[in-house]
Every structure is written in structure tokens, then in C-alpha cells.
Amino acid sequence: MRIAFYAPLKPPTHATPSGDRRVAGLLMDALERVADKVELVSTFRSFDADGDAVRQEALRRQGAELAERMAAQWRAAPPGARPDVWFTYHVYYKAPDWLGPAVSEALGIPYVIAEASYAQKRASGPWAIGHEAAAHAIGKARLILAPSRHDLEGLEALVAPERVVHLPPFLDPAPYGEAARERERHRARLAREHDLDARVPWIVVAAMMRPGDKLASYRELAAALAQVADLPWRLLVAGDGSARLDVQGALEGAVPGRARYLGTLGARELAETYAASDLYAWPAVNEAYGMALLEAQAAGIPVVACATRGVPDVVIDGRTGLLAERDLAPALRELLGDAQRRRALGRAAGEFIASERSLDAAAGRLKRLLAGL
């Protein structure tokens, strides 16, 4: 089986790190375990951040021309060089798929989407062109893989429920498990490097520092931490971005001197930082689900987060962490004061990721689903 892979919002080769780029790469990794060839067939971005109808129309024309050229090239190629499946990651009104539906129809192959969202309220707004295109693509898909149950209702308004399958987010747990086995060594190193007391709990967070929802999450985290300032703890912040001064201002204003700012960390350093910590805390304002929540659990620490959108699909309340409706402070207080509970939840979190949300588990599921096409 040959798979043509495409991500209209941000390809896995994009220069800027993000959760979206990470998930696209993980999907390619999983597909490579079940297909003979997985090819990133285009880096064309259909993303329009501003609701600019002129730009959306220009992207539509560019996409149509590109799809026509791609289809013609494949029709002229030997049968063994053509894809058997078109697989698009992440379709929504700001980043519709102008390529996949057209090429799939021209070649007579199944069209698959992983992560799509549809909301009727966008039909008459500034992204009306993108909204209509996203609805068209969703309607053409033979199979839609939904990482969050939050999106199911909107999708099932467009397609038959049997064409929509819940495929929860996943990752490769190996580097996080390796880091967890060396927890004490990593903790000792971080304590030396950042003047941390290893005898008190460490809360870790890893997120880009940018305006909008990320900054809103940092501010909500700061407000929650202020409510538990009477307890001993330290905060490790991994991340950077244009809103760094705003993030630091919020945290230092709420809990002065409690945070250590680690900047942008590589994958290995981040895994070691998770493993060395005691719990992960993040409000996840408007996040689809949050890959960092999976990473922290894979490293064997519990998560405290808000039960919004797809977060309950990645953190199992009472089993791998604690979920709150809005205010994280009560859950933080509960775990900061109970080391035994933290350790039990952390062990369960690591086991959960390794057994249910691993790359191997996802690949097995994808193999069965694609075979059905």
C-alpha cells in the first residue's frame, strides 16, 4: 500500500515547532509501520489566519491548479507509482484541503482525513470560503479519524457515523520511559543547574509563549498557583516565544521567585525534565487535546488540567491525573500535599501511555482501518 500524505495547516517538515507539526510527524511514523511507502506529497499551506476572503480565493485557485497537475502526473505514471490512499491531516475552516478530494476523485482512490472539525457558525463569517471547502472535504472522506470525541457531533452532521472513528492521540513512549528510569539523576542535575530544592515538589509546564490561548493558559496557571503559594513547590517552565515577557510577568506577579525558565528544550531534554518533576499542570485553554499532556504522562508523572475539549481523551481523571472544570488550584493542592498519590498516578500514567497510546498501538489500529478501505 502506498499512501500520499498531506497536512494543509503545517507540514511535518515546517521550520517552526508546534503541536500540529508534531502530530503530523507521528501520523507519518505510524503509517510507515503499516504501508509500503508513505510520501509527503505537498507542502502547500492553505492556512488563512485573518479571515481574508481574497486570500482564501487565491489559495483555492492555487490548490485547484496544483491538484490538477498532481493528478495528471500520477495518471501518466506506472500503476505501481501511484498512491493507493490519500491521507490528509487536520482539516478545518482556516486550513481546508484543496488537494486531497480532487486528486482522490481523479485517481479513484480512498480519501482519508485525520482530525477534522466542522462548526456551522462559521458558514457566514469571514472564513466562509474555507468553511465551505472544509465541509466539502469532510463529506468526500471515506474515513475520518477523530482524535477527540469533542469533534464527533459536528462531523456526524455531515457524514454517516460509521465513517467517523475515534483514534486518540498517541506518541512513541520509548524516550520518555528511558528518561523516567533515570529520574533521580536528571533531578539532581536540574537541581544543581537551576538552584532547586529537590526535597519539595516540582511542577512542570511545557508550552510555547505566544499571544492568544497559550498566554491565557499561562495566566490561568499563575492565578491557580497563587492559591497554593502557602505550600512548598517550584515551577519549571519549558518554552519561549514572543509573549515571554507577558508570561514571566504573570507568573512573577502571582508567585514571585517560584519559577525557573528553561527556554526551548530539545526532545531529550524535555523528556528528562518531565521525568525529574513531580506533576504537570496546564489549563489547556481552547486546546484540541495537548501533546505535552501525553508526553508528561509517558515520563511517569501525573497531569493536572482542565477538562476542556479533547483533554479528557488524553488524561484519565482519577487514574492518570486530575481534571478540573476551570480552577486548577484544588487539584494542585491535593497532589502537592500527597506524594504517595502523585507516585501512584504517575505510574498509572506511564502504563496507560505505553499500553494504550503508543505508536505501536496506533499503527495496529490504522492497519485495520485502512485495510477496511
pLDDT at residue 106, rounded to an integer: 97
Q: Are residues 257 and 131 located together in one domain of the fold?
A: no
Q: Are residues 250 and 135 located together in one domain of the fold?
A: no
Q: How far apart, in whole angstroms, are the C-alpha atoms of residue 162 and residue 154?
A: 14
Q: Are residues 122 and 183 located together in one domain of the fold?
A: no
Nearest to 1 by CA among 27, 34, 35: 35
Q: Are residues 68 and 201 located together in one domain of the fold?
A: no
**Quick one: cell of 111?**
480519501
3 state SS for 46-61: CCCCCCCHHHHHHHHH
Strands (E), the chain: 2-6, 37-40, 85-91, 111-116, 143-146, 164-166, 202-206, 234-238, 259-263, 279-282, 303-306, 321-324
Q: Are residues 287 and 298 located together in one domain of the fold?
A: yes
* C-alpha 98, offset from chain centre: 23
Q: Are residues 325 and 364 located together in one domain of the fold?
A: no
Nearest to 272 by CA among 190, 357, 355, 354: 190
pLDDT at residue 254, rounded to an integer: 97
Q: Are residues 212 and 316 located together in one domain of the fold?
A: yes
pLDDT at residue 151, rounded to an integer: 81
Q: Are residues 188 and 224 located together in one domain of the fold?
A: yes
Q: Are residues 71 and 154 located together in one domain of the fold?
A: yes
Instruction: Kindly give, in sequence order, each residue whose CB lies less than 8 Å from that of residue 197, ignoring residues fewer than 6 positions away.
Output: 191, 232, 234
Q: Are the beta carbons of 134 and 116 closer than 8 angstroms? A: yes
pLDDT at residue 123, rounded to an integer: 77
Strands (E), 136-295: 143-146, 164-166, 202-206, 234-238, 259-263, 279-282
Domain that holds residue 107: 2-170+359-371
**Quick one: cell of 314?**
488524553
This prediction's pTM:
0.89
Helices 339-356, 174-181: crossing angle, 10 deg rounding: 150
Q: Are the beta carbons of 57 and 91 closer than 8 angstroms? A: no
Q: Are residues 34 and 100 located together in one domain of the fold?
A: yes
Instruction: Name the 3-class secondary structure at 341.
Output: helix
Q: Which helix (H) or strand (E) holds 310?
A: none
If you compute the radius of gyration of the chain from its CA atoms, what whole number of angstroms results?
A: 22
Q: Are residues 230 and 338 located together in one domain of the fold?
A: yes
Q: How far apart, in whole angstroms, are the C-alpha atoms of residue 168 and residue 323?
A: 18
Q: How far apart, in whole angstroms, are the C-alpha atoms of residue 274 and residue 291?
A: 13
Q: Are residues 163 and 278 located together in one domain of the fold?
A: no
Nearest to 24 by CA among 35, 14, 36: 14
Local mean pLDDT, 10-residue blocks, the chain (373 residues)? 96 85 94 96 96 95 97 93 96 96 97 90 87 94 91 83 92 96 97 96 96 96 98 97 97 97 95 98 91 97 94 95 96 97 98 96 95 90
Instruction: Name the 3-class secondary structure at 196.
Output: coil
Fill in the amino acid letter for 43: T
Report the CATH number at residue 337: 3.40.50.2000
The tally of domains found in the chain comes to 2
Count of other CB atoms within 10 angstroms of residue 29: 17
Q: How far apart, in whole angstroms, are the C-alpha atoms of residue 20 and residue 190?
A: 29
pLDDT at residue 154, rounded to an integer: 80
